[in-house]
Amino acid sequence: MTSPAHPHGPAPAAGPALVVRADRGAVLVVPADDVAAAPRRVALDRDGLVPQPDGTRVPPTVGDVVDVAVPDVAGPDGAGPDGDAPPRVAVLHPRRTALVRDSADRTSLAQVMAANVDVVLVVEHLDPDPDLGRVERLLTLAWRSGATPVVVLTKADLVPDPAGMAAEVAAVALGVDVHTVSVPTGDGLDPLRALLRPGVALVAVGPSGAGKSTLVNALAGREVMATGERRADGRGRHTTTHRELVPLADGAVLVDTPGIRGVGLVADEDALDATFADVAALAARCRFRDCAHGTEPGCAVREALATGELAERRYDSWRRLAKEAAWHAQRTDARLAAEERARRRRATRDYHRDVRARP
């Protein structure tokens, strides 16, 4: 860049920036190659969206990589310095992975909770008892993201047999590493620290109170996130209210998330098959390809339920998530069809206006 230093605003951005936090009207970014730098604020356009390379605009999210452009010091007409032109997000880099949840939002059906993460930590407490259905739901979410799921069972210090409980969870977390940890004793933290290689991005998901922020602080080695400890003045609690990406040791970064209550799944058969590989393998052995596992003859799923090879709880959980994913897919199809109709109507209207406007 040949222009002189900017007189007021920040220096022109050099290289891609990493979004460490996305708020309604602005993002906080750090240089992608210096994630421990102090974040700076870049205001968003009025629609709160950022452009993708194909021109479509989407809401930015934590973990996104963007190019920030600082307008030329000379004005557009070359008439001299324009000291007030703020930096803006010029383009969003394509997302390598995306952790997506169903959204009740009226303008979109899916919300990207975090982008470009490599590892999804599915955090669940051992006390009270872990909720296997919730683990299955979050694993499906994780598989769909394209990142690698890892289960972290917290509060091992509060139960007599953490290993036995971990084995029960591992039985429903096929192909996924399951770790038990205790932050107060430090037990089990080393295998997680081994995941924190330079450039690796992780996200912690799980219910409120599972110990996500406590774990993030332990991995960061300092108090980066507020946790559910009661405040000294006894008023209320500190809780995580927003998603935020924090730098850990060695250049790894981790996104803490607020406790998610009943995260809606977005459709993805592959993700369901990954989470429920056992059920999928059974279903593939049914006599009929489109077996509904009801009263069809030669149903391998019903057979496995009868012999106890497949647990009723596991089967019900799979059914529920599959139904939910199908429902989301249907809703998305309806929404896309409506958007396409609206787009055609607008194009037709613009065309007629242009025709009328012609001399």
Check binding of 213 to Mg ion (CB under 5 A).
yes
Check binding of 180 to ligand GDP (CB under 6 A).
no
Minimum gap (Å) between residue 290 Cβ and Zn ion: 9
**Rounded to an integer, what distance in angstroms lies between the CA atom of residue 105 and that of residue 328?**
13
> What does DSSP say about strands 148-154 and 119-125: parallel, antiparallel, or unpaired?
parallel
Exposure of 215 by Cβ count < 10 A (0-12 exposed, 13-18 middle, 19+ buried)?
buried
**Rounded to an integer, what distance in angstroms lies between the CA atom of residue 221 and that of residue 240?**
18
Check binding of 182 to Mg ion (CB under 5 A).
no
Exposure of 295 by Cβ count < 10 A (0-12 exposed, 13-18 middle, 19+ buried)?
exposed
Considering only residues 189 to 228 of the shown chain, the ones binding ligand GDP according to CB under 6 A are: 206, 208-214, 227-228
Stretch that binds Zn ion, among 16-24, 177-185, 221-229, 279-287 (CB under 5 A): 279-287
**Rounded to an integer, what distance in angstroms lies between the CA atom of residue 20 and that of residue 176?**
27
3-class DSSP assignment, residue 18: strand
Check binding of 169 to ligand GDP (CB under 6 A).
no
Minimum gap (Å) between residue 199 Cβ and ligand GDP: 25
Check binding of 157 to ligand GDP (CB under 6 A).
yes
261 CB-near residues (< 8 Å, 6+ apart): 207, 208
Is there a contact between 147 and 120 (Cβ–Cβ < 8 Å)?
yes
Minimum gap (Å) between residue 89 Cβ and ligand GDP: 29
Minimum gap (Å) between residue 301 Cβ and Zn ion: 4
Minimum gap (Å) between residue 125 Cβ and ligand GDP: 8
163 CB-near residues (< 8 Å, 6+ apart): 180
Looking at beta carbons only, is 156 or 282 nearer to Zn ion?
Answer: 282
Provide the binding-site residues for Zn ion, judged by CB under 5 A: 286, 291, 293, 299, 301
Contacting residues toward Mg ion, per CB under 5 A: 212-213, 240
Q: Which residues of the chain form contacts with ligand GDP (CB under 6 A)?
A: 154-155, 157-158, 182-184, 206, 208-214, 227-229, 240, 259
